[in-house]
């Protein structure tokens, strides 16, 4: 027994994390390689990846660490963050996440590993949760149509500006912003207004709209309610005045305040925007949180982002699905309402559930308590001789302490409380759900006054103006009343989660979206208080752990991509695109090339590309795709020639959205550079490149990455995301920055692209941990296995379904497109039929009809093991045989398991009059009765829902029918 002594160092390493992350083991890889026809991973990728892009050097990243080591490292980073009681306010508040929601939503893979609900039949749980969110926002804002989340309050306000411009009567007027709006909101609006030629005027609106502004024409007005200073003003007269000028009025409103104050809708607003962070979502040093937008009915069809609506399935049962704008950028491209794709679904689900759990009475009581703390605090300060500036406030006081503001902020910090320094003479103090009596005492002490909470409570009067008190009812739907006990809530969350198909059930082979493992070790730190409870504007010395992690992740991503500088601020890929294009714009303008505004985009590009280009003030010129799926080089050359002097940038995806490594890429980049243009490489497909090639080395000047695709941040059912932008040195001066945090970007930057300095900082530990756990070698292997898996699936399916495009060596990259058009033509069986039939087999469908209509794009990722890959291939092959039966006439074209898919458990009872059996319907080959996933509804009628638009919870009687 002594012959095989294993050295301690090896025993200590245990099973390396890369073996947990990568599905196929050595033996499985050998089988897969044999199927694909290569001897090793190295041989395979040597053949698949064109030489011109290959990077010979190994990634210069620290060696892989074990899960225990990485957790210990994260713990020590967390310990370097100092969590004080935050009374900074400005749109970010302490909140108590009900543990039943923390554990069963935020920390539950059934919710966080789900994909965007494009396949509504297997997404009814999160669609219902989003409908709750929409209903909550619509009720509280008093505006009937709310979307299913935007990225944050600042970008929601910028979207409102764009919407005002689209629908407003005053075409070239200014966009007028309340001087008491959140400073980061004003800055995000300014970043977004400048490239599209909107002039922003910031003015004090307390005395109405200044005459000199009114004279210039006003397209839209944005009013903060309550203001950043805390002031609660009667905004109705300004709204009326704005409407007289023909302006669209947006009110940026605090939802908690709206439980007590008259709603924006009642006051006459056209649009309401804001954040739902304080509804149970940790601050996370800036995000992620769900922004919101609600609008008057007549603007429902112009709403940016996604909207959940009610429809019917083929049996006439009520069912939910994404309405109207679903994938609208793909359809409308440069004419899209916005570039938003990934939003903030998980956080919207949490905020909606917070309202479900507390109900209207609970929310009102939290608001009243918060307000009472503020009044007690103010009364105590006034009694001590401190001047409180705002007479009417909800939760935030601004006080005047001539010359002493910094000193008091420092003293409060000593006492464990962060206040907001406004200027040398003023500071502000925000109360929230987590405020305590001790905290009030610490604030008074910092001011050198004394207060007695009990005594003040007896004497302090609430200060909300009677005329602005809310009188109408809200959250009257039963869902906000039925789940008040923890048992009921737990079961409601479980019931909804069980309706959905997420990665915890099986593979989600979505091309372009990289649904890989979201490792538990990576996820754990996200809900640690030291990461969760930091305010984005907390002093830097309290965020040392975060700042170290952020700097290291930026460096790691720069190493992986070959760029010189990375900004983590954009909170989705779409926002990274905008940031990258603004950097290109800034560069050209600095060179005196204002006329360089043409953005070349291949026809196969993701729809966000074109939408982002328009937002960056560019003109989109489409480049054709050649027969073989590659960019049409002749057409590109012609377009470059034609637009030589105006060429700003070429935006390409690499590997292309067709799933192939284009061989001409270096040459294409050179042509663009020769013409004075820049090259934007959309990095959403980086999972095919990490460790093998670097976009910053093979010709790209700028890229965005999707950390929620390549770097393991879970999709959350449609967000959160992080879309860092990487640039070469010459573009670095034009990266995003932030008015409240100089360390967040270059002084010469383009302004903030997100409300928070580092965007969705709270989820950056996930990607940091992934890189740490894998090491450079592990990351490269992940890429190689992703390529192997895609080629394995392609090879197994090829005899049954044609693979549309291949690159060098007849190989695909990390995904493959199978062409169903010939089958559809011959048999009438559609892409939809196959996608829905996959549900009966227990799968989430691949990406449908993108980038080519009538096809499926399959991306298995490195995380799926061989058994799961085979289960998928066998289901596809069995479906092919079913298609054959339709083709041969054995099953009628209008009555077969494909056309009727998906089948619910309801088929097991009642009459059965189909050409195929019940068993064939629900237990097709390979599906066990014990492990069956039952979809809750049958195929959903999309058009019916769009014709009869219902975007809030339908009344209960619908359920009774
Ligand atoms: C996902 C994706 C995007 C957009 O990213 P979001 O994070 O959803 O905004 C852009 N381009 C491509 C190719 C993508 O796959």
Residue 326 confidence (pLDDT): 56
In order, the DSSP letters of 420-474 are EE-SSSEEEEE--TT--HHHHHHHHHHHT----HHHHHHHPPP-S-GGGB--S--
State yes or no: pLDDT of 333 exceeds 80.
no
Count of Cβ atoms closer than 10 Å to residue 534 Cβ: 27
702 touches 674 (CB < 8 A): no
Cα–Cα distance between 761 and 550 in angstroms, integer? 8
Averaged pLDDT, 7-17 = 88
State yes or no: pLDDT of 834 exceeds 60.
yes
Residue owning the nearest CA to atom 5 of ligand 1: 573
Count of Cβ atoms closer than 10 Å to residue 423 Cβ: 9
Which backbone phi and psi does 167 adopt, to 5 degrees? -105, -10
One-letter-per-residue 3-state SS of 843-855: CCCCEECCCCCCE
Residues with CB under 6 A from ligand 1: 341-342, 512, 572-574, 606, 608, 653, 657, 682, 684, 706, 721, 723
Cα–Cα distance between 317 and 311 in angstroms, integer? 8
874 touches 525 (CB < 8 A): no
Count of Cβ atoms closer than 10 Å to residue 245 Cβ: 18
Q: Considering only CA atoms, which of 390, 402, 415 is closest in space to residue 87?
A: 415
Ligand 1 midpoint to CA 331 (Å)? 15
Atom of ligand 1 nearest to the CA of 721: 7
Ligand 1 midpoint to CA 680 (Å)? 14
Chain Cα centroid distance, residue 54: 31
Residue 960 confidence (pLDDT): 42
Cα–Cα distance between 376 and 141 in angstroms, integer? 27
Q: Considering only CA atoms, which of 849, 877, 879 is closest in space to residue 119?
A: 849
Averaged pLDDT, 531-554 = 98
Out of 89-93, 286-290, 624-628, pick the least confident: 624-628
Residue 956: pLDDT band with limits 50, 70, 90: low
Ligand 1 midpoint to CA 684 (Å)? 6
Cα–Cα distance between 632 and 604 in angstroms, integer? 11
Ligand 1 midpoint to CA 486 (Å)? 38
141 touches 134 (CB < 8 A): no
Averaged pLDDT, 377-383 = 97
State yes or no: pLDDT of 629 exceeds 90.
no
In angstroms, the Cα distances linking 704 to 195, 252, 468, 589, 735 are 19, 29, 45, 21, 12
Cα–Cα distance between 907 and 922 in angstroms, integer? 8
Residue owning the nearest CA to atom 8 of ligand 1: 342
Ligand 1 midpoint to CA 852 (Å)? 16
In order, the DSSP letters of 820-881 are -HHHHHHH---HHHHHHHHHHTT----EESSSSTTEEEE---TTS-HHHHHHHHHHHHHHHH
**Tens digits of per-residue pLDDT, 14-29?**
899 999 999 999 999 9
Residue 331 confidence (pLDDT): 63
Ligand 1 pocket test, pick from 574, 602, 652, 724 with the greatest ligand atom count within 8 Å of Cβ, gives 574
Residue 946 confidence (pLDDT): 84
245 touches 211 (CB < 8 A): no
- Longest Cα separation, the chain: 93
Q: What does the DSSP 8-state code read for residue 706? A: -
**Percent of the chain's residues with pLDDT above 90:** 92
Q: Considering only CA atoms, which of 554, 556, 561, 557 is closest in space to residue 698?
A: 561
Ligand 1 pocket test, pick from 706, 710, 857 with the greatest ligand atom count within 8 Å of Cβ, gives 706
781 touches 20 (CB < 8 A): no
Residue 282: pLDDT band with limits 50, 70, 90: very high
Cα–Cα distance between 429 and 437 in angstroms, integer? 14
State yes or no: pLDDT of 825 exceeds 70.
yes
Averaged pLDDT, 300-329 = 87
Residue owning the nearest CA to atom 4 of ligand 1: 573
Ligand 1 pocket test, pick from 304, 508, 573, 753 with the greatest ligand atom count within 8 Å of Cβ, gives 573
Structural domains of the chain sorted by starting position, each given as residue range(s) with its CATH number in brackets: 13-48+780-895 (3.90.1150.10), 105-356 (3.40.640.10), 564-770 (3.40.640.10)
Atom of ligand 1 nearest to the CA of 653: 13
Residue 961: pLDDT band with limits 50, 70, 90: very low
**Average pLDDT over the chain, rounded to whole?**
96
Secondary structure of residue 818 in the 3-state scheme? strand
Q: Considering only CA atoms, which of 218, 223, 288, 212 is closest in space to residue 252?
A: 223
Q: How far apart are the first and last CA of the chain?
A: 72
Q: Count of residues for the chain?
A: 961
CB burial of residue 383 (10 Å; 0-12, 13-18, 19+): middle
pTM of the full predicted structure? 0.97
Ligand 1 pocket test, pick from 602, 608, 767 with the greatest ligand atom count within 8 Å of Cβ, gives 608
Ligand 1 midpoint to CA 683 (Å)? 8
Q: What does the DSSP 8-state code read for residue 115? A: P
Residue 628 confidence (pLDDT): 84
Residue 450 confidence (pLDDT): 95
247 touches 173 (CB < 8 A): yes
Residue 955: pLDDT band with limits 50, 70, 90: confident
Residue owning the nearest CA to atom 7 of ligand 1: 573
In angstroms, the Cα distances linking 1 to 4, 6, 43, 125, 350 are 7, 11, 38, 55, 55
Ligand 1 midpoint to CA 229 (Å)? 37
Ligand 1 midpoint to CA 375 (Å)? 46
Residue 953 confidence (pLDDT): 83
Ligand 1 pocket test, pick from 305, 342, 722 with the greatest ligand atom count within 8 Å of Cβ, gives 342
Chain Cα centroid distance, residue 747: 27
Count of Cβ atoms closer than 10 Å to residue 208 Cβ: 14
In order, the DSSP letters of 222-270 are EEEES-TT-B----HHHHHHHHHTT-EEEEEE-TTGGGTB--HHHHT-S
Cα–Cα distance between 494 and 309 in angstroms, integer? 22
Ligand 1 midpoint to CA 606 (Å)? 7
Question: Which of 556-570, 602-616, 844-858 is modeled with the greatest confidence?
Answer: 556-570
Ligand 1 midpoint to CA 705 (Å)? 9
**Tens digits of per-residue pLDDT, 734-767?**
999 999 999 999 999 999 999 999 999 999 999 9
**Tens digits of per-residue pLDDT, 163-220?**
999 999 999 999 999 999 999 999 999 999 999 999 999 999 999 999 999 999 999 9
Ligand 1 midpoint to CA 573 (Å)? 5
**Tens digits of per-residue pLDDT, 96-129?**
999 999 999 999 999 999 999 999 999 999 999 9
State yes or no: pLDDT of 649 exceeds 50.
yes
Ligand 1 midpoint to CA 657 (Å)? 11
Which backbone phi and psi does 310 adopt, to 5 degrees? -100, 140
Residue 689 confidence (pLDDT): 98
**Percent of the chain's residues with pLDDT above 70:** 98
Atom of ligand 1 nearest to the CA of 572: 7
Residue 959 confidence (pLDDT): 45
């Amino acid at each position: 027994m002594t012959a095989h002594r294993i050295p301690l160092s090896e025993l200590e390493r245990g099973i390396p994390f890369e073996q947990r992350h990568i599905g196929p083991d050595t033996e499985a890889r050998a089988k897969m390689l044999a199927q694909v026809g290569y001897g090793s991973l190295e041989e395979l990728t040597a053949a698949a990846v064109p030489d011109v892009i290959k990077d010979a050097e190994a990634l210069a990243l620290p060696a892989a660490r074990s899960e225990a080591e990485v957790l210990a490292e994260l713990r020590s980073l967390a310990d370097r963050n100092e969590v004080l009681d935050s009374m900074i306010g400005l749109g970010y508040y302490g909140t108590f996440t009900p543990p039943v929601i923390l554990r069963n939503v935020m920390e539950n893979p059934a919710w966080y590993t789900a994909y965007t609900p494009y396949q509504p039949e297997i997404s009814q749980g999160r669609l219902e949760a989003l409908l709750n969110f929409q209903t909550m926002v619509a009720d509280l804002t008093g505006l009937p149509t709310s979307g299913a989340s935007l990225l944050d309050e600042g970008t929601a306000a910028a979207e409102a500006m764009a919407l005002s411009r689209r629908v407003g009567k005053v075409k070239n007027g200014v966009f007028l912003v309340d001087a008491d709006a959140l400073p980061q909101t004003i800055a995000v609006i300014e970043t977004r207004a400048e490239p599209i030629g909107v002039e922003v005027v910031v003015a004090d609106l307390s005395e109405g709209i200044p005459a000199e502004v009114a004279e210039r024409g006003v397209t839209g007005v944005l009013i903060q309610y309550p203001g950043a200073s805390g002031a609660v003003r009667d905004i109705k007269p300004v709204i009326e005045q704005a409407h007289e000028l023909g302006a669209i009025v947006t009110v940026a409103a605090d939802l908690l305040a709206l439980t007590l104050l008259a709603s924006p809708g009642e006051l006459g607003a056209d649009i309401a925007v804001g954040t739902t962070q304080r509804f149970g979502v940790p601050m996370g040093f800036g995000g992620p949180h769900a922004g919101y937008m609600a609008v008057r009915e007549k603007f429902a069809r112009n709403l940016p982002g996604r909207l959940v609506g009610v429809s019917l399935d083929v049996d006439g049962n009520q069912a939910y699905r994404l309405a109207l704008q679903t994938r609208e950028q793909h359809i409308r491209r440069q004419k899209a309402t916005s570039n938003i794709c990934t939003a903030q679904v998980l956080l919207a689900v949490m905020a909606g559930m917070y309202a479900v759990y507390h109900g209207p009475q609970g929310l009102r009581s939290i608001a009243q308590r918060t307000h009472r703390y503020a009044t007690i605090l103010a009364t105590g300060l006034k009694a001590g001789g401190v001047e409180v500036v705002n007479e009417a406030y909800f939760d935030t006081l601004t006080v005047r302490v001539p010359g002493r503001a910094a000193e008091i902020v420092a003293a409060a910090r000593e006492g464990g409380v962060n206040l907001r320094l406004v200027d040398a003479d003023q500071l502000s103090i925000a109360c929230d759900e987590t405020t305590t009596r001790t905290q009030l005492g610490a604030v008074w002490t910092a001011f050198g006054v004394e207060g007695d909470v009990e005594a003040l409570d007896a004497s302090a009067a609430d200060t909300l103006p009677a005329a602005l008190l809310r009188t109408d009812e809200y959250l009257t739907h039963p869902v906000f009343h039925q789940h008040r006990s923890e048992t009921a809530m737990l079961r409601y969350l479980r019931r909804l989660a069980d309706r959905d198909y997420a990665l915890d059930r099986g593979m989600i082979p979505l091309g372009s979206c990289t649904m890989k493992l979201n490792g538990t070790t990576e996820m754990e730190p996200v809900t640690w208080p030291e990461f969760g409870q930091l305010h984005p504007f907390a002093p830097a010395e309290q965020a040392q752990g975060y700042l170290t992690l952020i700097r290291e992740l930026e460096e790691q991503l720069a190493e992986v991509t070959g760029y010189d500088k990375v900004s983590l601020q954009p909170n989705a890929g779409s926002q990274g695109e905008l940031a990258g294009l603004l950097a290109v714009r800034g560069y050209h303008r600095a060179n005196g090339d204002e006329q360089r505004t043409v953005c070349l985009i291949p026809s196969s590009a993701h729809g966000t590309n074109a939408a982002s280009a328009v937002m960056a003030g560019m003109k989109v010129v489409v480049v054709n795709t050649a027969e073989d799926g590659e960019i049409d080089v002749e057409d590109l050359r012609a377009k470059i020639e034609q637009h030589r002097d105006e060429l700003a940038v070429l935006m390409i995806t690499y590997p292309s959205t067709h799933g192939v490594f284009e061989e001409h890429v270096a040459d294409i980049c050179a042509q663009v550079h020769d013409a004075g243009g820049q090259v934007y490489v959309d990095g959403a497909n980086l999972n095919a490149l990490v460790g093998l090639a670097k976009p910053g080395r093979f010709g790209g000047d700028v890229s965005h990455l999707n950390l929620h695709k390549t770097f393991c941040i879970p999709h959350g059912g449609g967000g959160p995301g992080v879309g860092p932008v990487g640039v070469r040195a010459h573009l670095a001066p034009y990266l995003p920055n932030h008015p409240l945090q100089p360390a967040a970007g270059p002084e010469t930057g383009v302004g903030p692209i997100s409300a928070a300095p580092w965007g969705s900082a709270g989820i950056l530990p996930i990607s940091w941990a992934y890189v740490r756990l894998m090491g450079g070698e592990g990351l490269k292997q992940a890429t190689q296995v992703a390529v192997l898996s895609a080629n394995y699936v392609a090879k197994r399916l090829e005899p049954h379904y044609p693979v549309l495009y291949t690159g060098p060596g007849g190989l695909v990259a990390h995904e493959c497109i199978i062409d169903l058009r010939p089958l559809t033509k011959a048999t009438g069986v559609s892409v939809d039929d196959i996608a829905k039939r996959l549900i009966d087999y227990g799968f989430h469908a691949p990406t449908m009809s993108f980038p080519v209509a009538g096809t499926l794009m399959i991306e298995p990722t490195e995380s799926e093991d061989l058994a799961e890959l085979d289960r998928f291939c066998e289901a596809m092959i069995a479906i092919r045989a079913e298609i054959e039966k339709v083709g041969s006439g054995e099953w009628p074209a209008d009555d077969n398991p494909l056309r009727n898919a998906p089948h619910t458990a309801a088929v097991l009872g009642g009459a059965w009059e189909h050409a195929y059996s019940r068993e064939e319907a629900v237990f097709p080959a390979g599906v066990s009765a014990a492990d069956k996933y039952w979809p809750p509804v049958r195929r959903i009628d999309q058009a019916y829902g769009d014709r009869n638009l219902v975007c809030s919870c339908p009344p209960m009687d619908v359920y009774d029918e």
